[in-house]
Structure 1
Amino acid sequence: MNDDLNSVKTVSPGERSYHHGALRPALIRAAVEVLAERGPDGFSLRETARRAGVSPAAPAHHFGDARGLLTAIATEAFRDFGDALAAADKGADRAARIRAQGVAYVRFALDDPARFHLMWRKALLDTADPEYAETAHRAFLLLDGVVRGEEAALSVSPRDLALAPSIACWSIVHGFAMLALDGTFGDEPRAAERAADALLPLVLDHLAI
Structure 2
Amino acid sequence: MSTDQGPSGGTPQPAYHHGDLRRTLLAAAVDVIAAEGPAALSLRDLARRAGVSHAAPAHHFKDRTGLLTAVATEAYTLFADSLSEVTDLTERGARYVRFAARHPAHFQVMFQPELYRADDPALVAARERAARTLREGVAGLAPEGSSAEDARRTGIAAWSLAHGFASLLLSHNLTDFLGDRDPEEAFRSVADGLFEG
In the alignment, structure 2 segments of 5+ residues that lack a partner are: 1-5, 141-147
1:194 paired with 2:186, answer no
| Residue 180 of structure 1: aligned partner | 169
Larger Rg: 2
| Residue 17 of structure 2: aligned partner | 17
| Residue 171 of structure 1: aligned partner | 160
Once residues 137 and 58 of structure 2 are traced to their aligned partners in structure 1, the CA distance between those partners, rounded to angstroms, is 40
Q: How many aligned residue pairs are there? A: 178
| Residue 120 of structure 1: aligned partner | 111
Q: Contact 1:81/1:139 (CA < 8 Å) preserved in 2?
A: yes
1:109 paired with 2:100, answer yes
TM-score, normalising length from structure 1? Answer: 0.76
| Residue 100 of structure 1: aligned partner | 91
Q: Contact 1:78/1:119 (CA < 8 Å) preserved in 2?
A: yes
In the alignment, structure 1 segments of 5+ residues that lack a partner are: 1-8, 90-96, 150-159
Once residues 116 and 195 of structure 1 are traced to their aligned partners in structure 2, the CA distance between those partners, rounded to angstroms, is 16
1:1-209 aligned within 5 A = 13-14=13-14, 16-18=16-18, 22-89=20-87, 97-148=88-139, 161=149, 162-186=151-175, 191=179, 194-198=182-186, 200-205=187-192, 206-207=194-195
Deviations, residues 47-90 of structure 1 (Å, cap 9, x unaligned): 1111111111111111111011111111111111111001122x
TM-score, normalising length from structure 2? Answer: 0.80
Cα offset, 1:26, TM superposition: 1.6
- Change in Cα spacing, 1:111 to 1:148, as seen in structure 2 (3 Å) is same
Cα offset, 1:178, TM superposition: 0.7
- Change in Cα spacing, 1:107 to 1:191, as seen in structure 2 (3 Å) is farther
Once residues 192 and 63 of structure 1 are traced to their aligned partners in structure 2, the CA distance between those partners, rounded to angstroms, is 41
Cα offset, 1:193, TM superposition: 5.9
Q: RMSD of aligned C-alpha atoms? A: 2.5
Deviations, residues 109-131 of structure 1 (Å, cap 9, x unaligned): 11111111111110001110011
